[in-house]
Structure 1
Amino acid sequence: MLRNELGLSTLAAWGGEQQPHGYGAAQVPIVQSAPFAYPDVASWRAVIDGDAKGDIYSRNTNPTVAVFEEKCRLMEGGESAIAFASGMAAISNTLFAVLRAGDHVVSIKDAYGATSRIFMELLEPMGVTVTLVSTDDADALEAAVRAGCRLVYVETPTNPTLKVIDLHRMAAAARSVGALLMVDNTFASPINTRPIALGADLVVHSATKFLGGHDDAIGGVLVGRRDLVDTVYRYREITGAALAPFAAYLLLRGMKTLALRVERQNATALAVAQHLERDPRVAAVFYPGLASHPSHHVAAKQMSGFGGVLSFEMVGGEAAAIRLLDALKLVHRAASLGSVNTLAGLPGMTSHVEVTPQDRAALGIPEALIRYSCGIEDATDLIDDLDRALASLD
């Protein structure tokens, strides 16, 4: 008899897949069909009216996508889940569906660049006001929330500065004013942090990153309270930002090894961060697993692992950072993270390519910062690669 609470590794492999698949398939089939046909009008109508289970059109629901949604729901511990064509589709659809004119949002200054653009450019014309608070100032962030708002939106760790938000504290502040707490959990993944257990109402992922883990599929997912997810579903149903079945299949395949990959990436990132922190050619290292990290105590309290991504600044500024990136061999210089291969880049070319240098400065994103996402390579090989590249700068 199975335990009531399965472990995350088991859920990654089996979540949403314990029911038999069609044709006796051991793996989730790709149901690559736009419409779904019925033998007669009565059975078709029964599905439309909700009297029978079934699918009508893949913009609304799809069997392959439904398995991906259920796996994410189980791993995050939410009531419901809905998948999207990308992480930004998940974020934008949720914000636009939940917020109304006159609402107020409290968020952090150094959120992901495209998310920051929504806050800075798109919500105000809708009549939604936004307060962006320094992520480093937990007291100011809590005070802004307790002053009143409809929604609190945070990332933890943040992209790309790896700052950590105390989710239990933010959830308490949000509840005190009847606000919702929405968390971007992309960097941590449910292996390292489960925000709903810490009080969040909604959790969003760019599934392209750690969930998929192979840089071969783009997708997003929202998990949370059923009433809120239902509201977002009705919005997505009309806007059409649905996840494609083949992408859902690739993401499902990637998720089966999520726990194994993340555990390896956690260990590698910590080893790399500790090594770089000792190098005099590196000005600063940002990784919540380091004892020197300002929020290490918060991360240690709410994370089971510190993640596979770190960032660091070079002595010599942006020019030195570019030279280092060009000298690395065991990285893809590319705008993603969470892959089985190590990826690295500057904020102006990755996380904050959508915003201007002036906006990046205002958001507290240094131009010379290198975001380094560890893959599943041997940690010693990555460290050797970094050492060789660093030596080439002398």
Structure 2
Amino acid sequence: MSETQFGFETKAIRTQLERSQYQEHSVPLYLTSSFLFEDAEDMRASFAEEKEKNIYSRFSNPNTNEFIDKICQMEGAEAGYAFATGMAAVYSTFAALLNSGDHIVSASSVFGSTHTLFTKYFPKWNIETSYFNINEPETIENFIQPNTKILYAESPTNPAVDILDLKYLGKIAKKHSLLLIIDNCFATPYLQNPIQFGADLVIHSATKLIDGQGRVLGGITVGREDLIREIYLFSRNTGPSLSPFNAWVLSKSLETLAVRVEKHCENALKVARFLESHTNVELVKYPFLKSHPQHEIAKKQMRLGGNIVAFEIKGGIEAGRKFIDKIKLCSLSANLGDTRTIVTHPASTTHSKLTEDERLAVSITDGLVRVSVGLETVQDIIDDLKQALE
């Protein structure tokens, strides 16, 4: 059986590119800034890229190579590049592929820092962004201009866990010769593979579920080899590369990704069902609840519903703050995808810099709470949420 025929979990555990002369069973750390050459010709050929060889850890390293290869196998991608953070992946991907005068069409609901890139920094370089309403995907073509180069979306979205039809986005991108880039952070490669639906590139913040234990920062972009080549050239010169140590941690994390995400999703569905039954809760959004507006789409493109539950507390922003103050077991943190359940009130924290109209346009009401459901005993999670709600 070839490696390409192995199952997801086997690829995550058995992919190992390099061992030292000691033939380690567990992957060794390659904590070195640079690598040696045999002679002048070896050095020349390596820098000329006539041979595949590690030169400098800002360019490549055995640990980052392994992490990239694993994600590529999991996502069905041709190539990839790993970054120091998820936002480094987002920024470098766009910066490498866009020129002054280009245009982006993006889903209206994107991570706050991505929104800041699109609205504050990219316009400095004459790169503009138009947002389509995530609840009106049929309007996407109205925003496409002659200079549009990229169609971008997150699915599920942050923080309201809306679902976009990836197959539909793929068709539109192909019709208009656009690059389709999908942020797959909330789903992970285990639950969803956007390349199957027409995505050219897939981005992950590896800080979240891929690490899964709140230890390190990391990001990665995988997809078409020709596009990754441009991203690699940009990144080896600008320096946002992932450190070998963090790559080693993340690669080891992938070995348990499937079993962790299965349990996250099991717990999250139970938490969502509890919240849906509570009298102080106005609305619950979880992709695998039948009440979710895009439930059928989620079932078609996702294996399970993920670990993020969004719900709206009756009483608005003050009720949301009081709920946060009463939390005892769960963590109050800006992260997600951790073994520990994390509760966040987006309107007063992560998305507080948006105007009320901007928040409402992406389903972030004053009472919206985002729960990143962890791996604790699920009844303990529910009991904590229950006492805070009451």
> Which interval holds the TM-score relative to the shorter structure?
over 0.9
1:96 lines up with 2:67 in the alignment: no
The equivalent of 2:199 in structure 1 is 200
Displacement after TM superposition at 1:142 (Å): 4.6
User: 2: CA distance between counterparts of 1:139 and 1:342?
Assistant: 36
CA distance in 2 between counterparts of 1:346 and 1:94 reads 29
Mean Cα deviation higher: 352-361 or 310-319 = 352-361
Partner of 2:247 in structure 1?
248
What code does the residue aligned with 1:71 have?
Answer: K
The whole-number CA distance in structure 2 between the counterparts of 1:34 and 1:20 is 18
Pick closer, same or farther for the CA change 1:21–1:381 going to 2, 3 Å. Answer: farther
Q: Give the alignment's Cα RMSD to 1 decimal.
A: 1.9
Quote the residue 2:317 is aligned against. 318
Counterpart of 1:373?
Answer: 372
- TM score, norm. by length of structure 1: 0.94
Note the alpha carbon deviations across 1:339-372, whole angstroms, 9 max, x for none: 1111111114654366566653555422332110
Structure 2 counterpart SS, 1:246: helix
Q: Does 1:60 align with 2:59?
A: yes
| Structure 1 residue 284 corresponds to structure 2 residue 287 | no
Compute the TM-score of the two structures, normalised by the length of structure 2.
Answer: 0.95
8 Å contact from structure 2 (residues 17, 65) kept in 1: no
User: 1:219 matched to which residue of 2?
Assistant: 218
- Distance 1:30-1:18 versus aligned 2 partners, 3 A rule: closer
Report what 1:296 is aligned to.
295
Cα distance in structure 2, aligned partners of 1:3 and 1:67: 14
Contact 1:213 1:255 in 2 (8 A): no
Q: Taking structure 1 as reference, are residues 349 and 233 closer, same or farther at Cα in structure 2, changes over 3 Å only?
A: farther
- Is 2:323–2:389's contact at 8 Å kept on the other side of the alignment? yes
Matched, 1:260 2:259: yes
Find the aligned partners of 1:21 and 1:134 in 2 and give their Cα distance. 52
Structure 1, unaligned runs of 5 or more: none
2:85, 2:219 within 8 Å by CA — same for their partners in 1? yes
The 10-residue stretch of structure 1 (325-334 or 277-286) with the greater mean CA deviation from structure 2: 325-334
Structure 2 residue 34 is matched with structure 1 residue 35: yes
Contact 1:159 1:351 in 2 (8 A): no
Aligned position for 1:26 = 25
Counterpart CA distance in 2 for 1:122 and 1:75 is 33
Contact 1:146 1:177 (8 Å CA) reproduced = no
Residue 269 of structure 2 corresponds to 270
- CA change 1:4–1:65 in 2 (3 A) is closer
How far apart are the structure 1 equivalents of 2:97 and 2:385? Answer: 44
Gaps of 5+ in 2: none
Q: Tell me if structure 2 keeps the 8 A contact 1:148–1:177.
A: no
Range that drifts further, 46-55 or 78-87: 46-55
**What is the one-letter code of the residue matched to 2:280?**
R
Seq. identity, %: 37
Quick check: 2:341–2:374 contact (8 Å CA) kept in 1?
Answer: yes
Q: Is 1:14 aligned to residue 3 of structure 2?
A: no
The number of residue pairs the alignment matches comes to 390
By how many angstroms is 1:202 displaced? Answer: 0.3
Q: Would the alpha carbon gap of residues 148 and 274 (structure 1) be closer, same or farther in structure 2, given more than 3 Å must change?
A: farther
Once the two structures are TM-superposed, the CA of residue 274 in structure 1 deviates from its matched residue by 1.1
Equivalent position of 2:5 in the other structure: 5
Q: Secondary structure at the match of 2:148?
A: coil
Q: Is 1:139 the equivalent of 2:171? A: no
Contact 2:19 2:28 in 1 (8 A): no
